[in-house]
Structure 1
Amino acid sequence: MTERFDIRHIDLAIADADAGTPGGRALSVFWWKDLPLGTRASLQEELPFGISLLRQLTAEYAARQLEARAVMLGAPLRATYEGWAKPAISLASALEAENLIESLDEFATASSVAADDISVVICTRDRGPALAECLRSVVAQRGTPGEIIVVDNSRDCNARSVCTEFPDIRYVHEPRAGLSRARNAGIRASRLNIISFTDDDVEVHPGWTAEIARAFAGRDVEAMTGLVLPARLDTGAQCYFEFAMGGFGTSFIPRTFGRQFFEETRPHGAHVWKIGAGANMAFRRSVFERLGLFDERLGAGAAGCSEDSELWYRLLATGGECLYEPRAVVFHHHRSDWPGLKRQMKAYMKGHVAALIVQYDNFGDRGNIVRVWTQLPIHFARTFLKTLIKGSPGRLGILAAEIKGWLAGLQFFLRFGWRKQQVPMRAATAIAKETAR
């Protein structure tokens, strides 16, 4: 997959016809006002969309939002084994519902909840221009956050000059390398009750903080994640990550990850990576007070990644829940070149294995070990066979990077000093045992 995709944003609330005429392939992102509805990848000959197709898509998207968001139908839905939620009614029944568009208008009403109790933490390392774009999107929020904290994880304080261009930005320097250390520095520096995180390779939607505020105000939410859309698909590597690798698991349906999801997936390593992405997540301060901070053995600059999913694991293992709310939207800049993508996938797999080991050490759940030694090797074998059959040589390079990451992650089994349980983990384990009684 080498051809670029134009990204088109189409508001179905005002689109009587598809006026777009991209010069090639396109990924269309459909909205109803500020409510994201879905995406559709198309070849050039399939564009522009006809009015009948747009009306059909509107009806289907409206029905899916109704079955997922209507309180009378049990919203928010609860995630099950695959991470998806089972609606109370079928899509066909939802399509027959009266006032479908009126319901869509209601769901798309922009949040008016104040965001002044939100601390936005942005961790950065040697990405000055990208950080500037990220900050421009954050300071342009409709719901002004209570504080914006930039944690500079570079040795030479490279981000300081960028931060001086933006008033009211709090600058924190964390010279010890590691994303978890940077995020923990941001938590310690924050002063408000809700702490949200995004990354320096991300731009946030204008309603991002307001939607986070609404999610925490509307129900007893301890943690949440949101929708991560691609910012650009200009290169083959970006397109491959988004379409072949699944990107960041784009879903437009809200759902709650809790005890049912955790217990159903626990025998094979609880699938907490399906909860969301660290580029778009938020927590109540009480979560860190109860469970401890991000594990500094994990994350970029350390074991590789999965510091976010390991914290979600702790949360669910101790009886907590995490809401996925796609109304909180960010746009991520994927790695633009193949070497960068391969390094990323190696780091992802290395960090994933390390997190599974940490989770096993902390809670004794054997499903984590089953995934390391059984499920992942089976996944590699199946992917290899499928790649040979389909003749996709690019996938072999990515697969090789993942296997290298898996092998690199296995070293943590033997590093007993690294595996020594930390004090916050002991507290979480005690809470888990108490919850299970």
Structure 2
Amino acid sequence: MNISAKSFHKSFSHGLREKGFFMEIAVIIPSKNGINHLKECLPTVVKATLQAPFPVHITVVDDNSTDKTVEMLPPLFPEIVFLRNPNKGVSSARNWGVKNTPCDWICFLDNDVFLDEHFFNTVQKYLKQDVFCVACAGYTAYPKVLGALEQNDGIKLLDWKRGFPRFTSNVYNKNLSLQQEYLSWGVQGAYFFCNRGKFEQLTGFDEILDPYMLEESDLAYRGLKRGWKIVYAPDTKPLHKCGGTINSKKNKYTQFLSKRNRVLFVWKNITSKYLLISHIFWLLLRTDIRILRTILRAWPDIKKKREIEKKEQVVTDETLFKQSKQFVQKGYGS
């Protein structure tokens, strides 16, 4: 292909992308000692990509596992790229996967998620240029009633309680009129899509939150404060093993990371004076010296990130929390 032909091809492809007629998807799956989950779930991901109306590249980023994931799985899945994370943590693993995979949109999956073969066909209509993220409806892989669909992820809500944000409330499909478009105030990290251009504007996941906890909530919130929208896709049906990625939320280390990252989230992102006063009151009331020491050591880095977020903010904290609360008050149960 000569230079002018290459130029034409690039221009033509760019034009198609701008009109939404052509795109590439990168599926990024971080995994730490998840070889058994991957053996079970990857076949469903591969099958779904074969039915996709656009090119889909699957990348598994091994996060310093000791279970020989990178040695044993490539022969079983030759269509998948396996990378080693040069750092440690789920945020850095996801960032490394995006950096090394061509795409217009990124589909982030956990290693314990099953996809149906129509997954990418279903989500295609939501992948528009003005969308930041697509939040998926998600279901448990092993419901209490055999053969039933038990939804555990829907529209994500924001709440503020005892000085900290809460991201765990959902509005499920049974409480929605599925004939209209709904926005979400967050995503489920096990399965969601992100516009690559906007992802790069945010410089990806914030690796200060590594090894894990709240990284997807942080990414989503930073985008929302820039005025970007998260669209909810109620007709997607990924199945989550729920707990396969993080073995126990009662683990002491996991509890420490949860508390630490909740403080990090506030110090990085919250600019509302009212919310900050509430945060400081409850933080001092329940002082954890170990967490405070950890946060204070990172203060120079936190301060830089905070200044960036203040500069880029278009929507206030109060507005986002108020929007979420009003949505529930309109009669949408959670």
What's the TM-score, normalizing by structure 1? 0.52
Show the counterpart of 2:75: 164
**131, 135, 158: which one pairs with 1:221?**
131
**How far apart are the structure 1 equivalents of 2:283 and 2:172?**
24
Aligned residue runs from structure 1 range 238-253, under 5 A: 249=170, 251-252=172-173, 253=176
CA contact (8 A) 1:198 1:281 kept: yes
Closer/same/farther in 2, CA of residues 417 and 231 from structure 1, 3 Å limit: same
Percent of pairs identical after alignment? Answer: 23
8 Å Cα contact 2:35-2:67 kept in structure 1 = no
| Structure 2 match to 1:430 | 311
Larger Rg: 1
Residue aligned with 1:163, SS: coil
Aligned with residue 202 of structure 2, among 284, 291, 309: 291
How far apart are residue 185 of structure 1 and its match?
Answer: 0.3
Q: Is the 8 A contact 2:26 2:57 kept in 1?
A: yes
Amino acid across the alignment from 2:39: A
Gaps of 5+ in 1: 1-112, 235-241, 258-271, 379-402
Is the CA contact 1:119–1:191 (under 8 Å) kept in the aligned structure 2?
yes
Q: Determine helix, strand or coil for the equivalent of 1:165.
A: coil
Q: Which residue of 2 aligns with 1:182?
A: 93
Answer whether contact 1:124 1:151 (CA < 8 A) is retained.
yes
1:409-429: CA deviation from partner (whole Å, max 9, x where unpaired)? 54454222452425xx65554
Matched, 1:421 2:328: no
Instruction: Identify which of 310, 321, 331 aligns with 2:218.
Output: 310
348, 372, 397: which one aligns with 2:279: 372
8 A contact 1:204–1:329 mirrored in 2: yes
Question: Any idea what SS the aligned residue of 2:189 has?
Answer: coil
d(CA) in 2 for partners of 1:250 and 1:154?
36
Q: 1:323 aligned to 2:323?
A: no
Query: What is the Cα-based RMSD across aligned positions, in Å?
Result: 3.6
Matched, 1:255 2:162: no
**Alpha carbons of 1:282 and 1:246: their partners in 2 closer, same or farther (altered >3 Å)?**
closer
Query: Residue 358 of structure 1 contacts residue 419 of structure 1 at CA under 8 Å; is this kept in 2?
Result: yes
- CA gap of 1:114–1:164, structure 2 versus 1, over 3 A, is farther
Instruction: Check if 1:127 corresponds to 2:34.
Output: yes
Partner of 2:258: 348
Q: Secondary structure at the match of 1:414?
A: helix
Q: Deviations over 1:25-61 (max 9, x none)?
A: xxxxxxxxxxxxxxxxxxxxxxxxxxxxxxxxxxxxx
Checking the alignment, whether the CA contact within 8 Å between 1:115 and 1:213 is kept in structure 2 is no
Unpaired segments ≥5 residues, structure 2: 1-19, 145-151, 154-165, 317-334
Q: Aligned in 2, Cα 1:115/1:328: closer, same or farther, shift over 3 Å?
A: farther
In the alignment, does 2:59 pair up with 1:149? yes
* Kept in 2: contact 1:290–1:428 (CA 8 A): no
- d(CA) in 2 for partners of 1:407 and 1:198? 35
Rounded to whole Å, the distance in 2 between the matches of 1:308 and 1:195 is 13
Aligned-partner SS, 1:297: helix
CA distance in 2, matches of 1:323, 1:188: 24
Q: Which amino acid aligns with 2:204?
A: L
Q: Deviations over 1:353-380 (max 9, x none)?
A: 32122213xxx333553553457899xx
SS of corresponding position for 2:142 = coil
Distance 1:177 1:139, change over 3 A: same
Deviations along 1:210-249, whole A, 9 cap, x unmatched? 22322114x7322111112111257xxxxxxx79x99773
- Give the equivalent residue in structure 2 for 1:268: none
Number of aligned residues: 264
Higher helix fraction (1 or 2):
1
Aligned 8 A contact 1:120 1:148 in 2: yes
Secondary structure of the corresponding residue to residue 340 of structure 1:
coil
Residues 268, 303 of structure 2: 8 Å contact kept: no
CA distance change for structure 1 residues 121 and 407 in 2, over 3 Å: closer, same or farther? farther
